Structure 1
Amino acid sequence: MAVDKLQPNDPRVQSATANLRGKTYHYLHGKPAGAVKGTIMLVHGWPDLSFGWRYQVPLFLSLGLQVIVPDCLGYGGTDAPQDVALYSHKSVCDDLAELVRQICGPDEQIILGGHDWGGMVVWRFALWHPQLLRGVFSICTPYVSPSPVFVDIAHMVERLPNFAYQAQLAGPDVEREIGSDPDKLRGLLKGMYGAKGPNGERVFSVENGVAFEHLDKMGQCPLLDQDEVEYYVKQYSRTGIRGPLNWYRTRKVNYDEEVALIKDGKPPRITTPALMVVARGDAALPPRMSQGMEANFDSLKKVEVDGPHWALWEPFAGQTNHEIEAFVQGILSGSAKASI
């Protein structure tokens, strides 16, 4: 059976904005039809939008949860400032903590989920703001402890060749070649979400990044319908590609801020009940990257699902949603409790 999903401008969620520490964030806000059993916030990654959680929002509403899904900094209807430091994990976590307080008040704890860069954000949120959490989960993105030694992007790629694309995204080429051009953005987005050229050309690989010569060749997108493609293009055309790419330019500022999380030479622990959903076919974040991460948690459940990096979406959403739902129901029932 097909998984229910939001449509662009779906009436089940409202489009709203909030001023968060001097920046305007756009977010989708949905409330269940009956009693509210809790609140869940969902954080997207690259090159996505709040709409990337369209297959999960109806599920959470059906479970009685209030749902908050922001466009992350640099994306969609949210501001895209020039200052790279504002895109650091701590800065974004502080923004999202303020959003929680504005919507839920100072005392409510939420469930927090992330995918891709959003997964990195939610793990860091669990370190910087554990008092705001009932549970935390990540799709595809493993937890990585703050590093006591700075590792630049070149040395990171030596260790993790599957991250070679990040060196390109952090540099000037993609921003210069694509900018806010709707046609180039359309080619990029369709290609990122599975479209190919007439001879099998691909617009992106983890080994090489974006292949600019193929941007105008992309055919039908298998993961987005035409209305969804145009929705993404319209949102990206608003401020262009610079903001999303700034997330790849924060290695040094993240390192500088996260040194404070290391106490007496020991890495921090995540005390919040946690779920890690590994996608078996993820080329960017392969399953091996999550090995051993449980050593940093008081309570972690790890599961694997079929599918690639886009395991949130059909045809993979059913299995992913099943795992998330089981975790969320455990939080709501009180069978999983934070140790803070």
Structure 2
Amino acid sequence: MAAQVPAAQAPFNSSHSVVVGESTYHYLRARPSGEPKGSVLLLHGFPDLPYGWKYQVPLFTSLGYQVIVPEMLGYGYTSSPSELDAFSFKNMSNDLAALLDQILPDEQVILGGHDWGAGLVWRFAIYYPQLFKGIFALTYPFFPPVTEYVDLADQIKDGEVPTLKYQLQLRDPSLDRKLRSEEEIRQLLIATHGGLTPDGKVGFTNEGLIQENFPYLQPGPLLNGTELDYYVSEYQIKGIRGPLTWYRTNKVNFEDELPIAQAGGPKFTIPALFVQATKDPVLVPSLSEGMDKYFDKLTRAEVETGHWATIEDPAAVNKAIKSWIETFE
């Protein structure tokens, strides 16, 4: 059933819910002024919401596309299952494939994502390549499936992915109990969006959350005022456990993807775009080295931003996306 969306959710036109399997997905839709020539599915990351695409949605509608942006599993009005397996890339791909089958049957769409949403883009396209006429990912490069599981703690100990140390903290279930109140969630959002204390201290680094600084953090330019209030209210609906569960699925994803790795890995034949945020302190450019060999038609672009590329420099992000779309429309 469609419903009007509050002003805080502009530029979307309507809000919907659809049941897929055992979960309910809530999504927002934006339509172009005329008959859509196609559709775009956008996936957000952590700790974000569909609203994080606020500057890209008008780009797509101006190009004649309708845009579908779900609240991802665990967020807002979408279900937040207790089972870890439900949050695997494979299971969430199954969910979203069922969602597309219900609302856009027999239509190939453009798929895009940022952060964890971008990580899911790559896997969704492995499992359901026939659903997409193009895929793009912002900040999160393609990591190929592997044939041997190595726990993240061991990878960090061996110096393989030092910028991902924060994930050891976020995957710890005890953190759920430390981020329950409205104020704790507010300060988490401020910390992850670059907020500072009056004397310039941060609340988040690639080492993790610095919770002793939380009480003193002030909102930065990326998320503040009524937008921050809106984000806090959305995270109050189901809490933080579901969003943090995305950090706890490495082993589950490895097991799902082992047959793909044993077969030599995937080969993407559809047009793909990867946008590197050159100043991202976590998803650093070196992490994308070597990914090109898995693609027939990979376009690379760079934006001089930190992690929140979609809102830090939307003009540069939109330019990269528009130029890429024009290559295969």
Question: TM-score scaled by structure 1?
Answer: 0.92
Which residue in the other structure is 2:173 paired with?
A: 172
Structure 2 residue identity aligned to 1:253: V
Structure 1 residue identity aligned to 2:171: A
Structure-2 separation of matches of 1:52 and 1:149? 35
Residue 7 (structure 1) shift? 5.5
- SS at 1:298's partner residue? coil
Residue 11 (structure 1) shift? 6.3
Matched, 1:69 2:66: no
Which residue in the other structure is 1:276 paired with?
A: 274
Structure 1 residue identity aligned to 2:169: Q
Matched, 1:131 2:130: yes
Post-superposition Cα deviations, 1:229-262, rounded to whole Å, max 9, x if no partner, equal 0000000011111001100110111011111223
Equivalent pairs counted in the alignment come to 322
Structure-2 separation of matches of 1:59 and 1:260? 38
Structure 1 residue identity aligned to 2:299: K
**Structure 1 residues 195-234: aligned runs within 5 Å:** 195-207=195-207, 209-234=208-233
Structure-2 separation of matches of 1:7 and 1:312? 20
Structure-2 separation of matches of 1:329 and 1:14? 28
Q: Is the 8 A contact 1:162 1:284 kept in 2?
A: yes
- SS at 2:101's partner residue? helix
Residue 10 (structure 1) shift? 2.3
- SS at 1:307's partner residue? coil
Residue 292 (structure 1) shift? 1.5
Structure-1 separation of matches of 2:155 and 2:23? 31
Structure-2 separation of matches of 1:9 and 1:47? 16
Residue 167 (structure 1) shift? 0.5
Structure-2 separation of matches of 1:133 and 1:202? 40
2:315 paired residue among 318, 324, 331? 318
- SS at 1:78's partner residue? coil
- SS at 1:195's partner residue? coil
Using the TM superposition, name which of 323-332 and 276-285 deviates more.
323-332
Structure-2 separation of matches of 1:278 and 1:90? 25
**Structure 1 residues 7-86: aligned runs within 5 Å:** 8-10=8-10, 12-86=12-86
Structure 1 residue identity aligned to 2:297: S
Which residue in the other structure is 1:3 paired with?
A: none
Q: Is the 8 A contact 1:126 1:272 kept in 2?
A: no
**Structure 1 residues 294-333: aligned runs within 5 Å:** 294-314=292-312, 316-332=313-329
Structure-2 separation of matches of 1:89 and 1:63? 30
Structure-1 separation of matches of 2:322 and 2:7? 21
- SS at 1:330's partner residue? coil
Post-superposition Cα deviations, 1:82-140, rounded to whole Å, max 9, x if no partner, equal 111100001111111111111111x2100000111111100011110000000000000
Using the TM superposition, name which of 222-231 and 322-331 deviates more.
322-331
Residue 172 (structure 1) shift? 2.8
Residue 221 (structure 1) shift? 2.3
- SS at 2:326's partner residue? helix
Structure-2 separation of matches of 1:176 and 1:254? 25
Structure-2 separation of matches of 1:243 and 1:327? 33
Q: Is the 8 A contact 1:177 1:212 kept in 2?
A: no
Q: Unaligned stretches of 5+ in structure 1?
A: 1-5, 333-340
Question: TM-score scaled by structure 2?
Answer: 0.95
Structure-2 separation of matches of 1:189 and 1:317? 20
Residue 76 (structure 1) shift? 1.5
Structure-1 separation of matches of 2:145 and 2:7? 38
Residue 80 (structure 1) shift? 1.0
Which residue in the other structure is 1:150 paired with?
A: 149
| Percent identity between the two aligned chains | 42
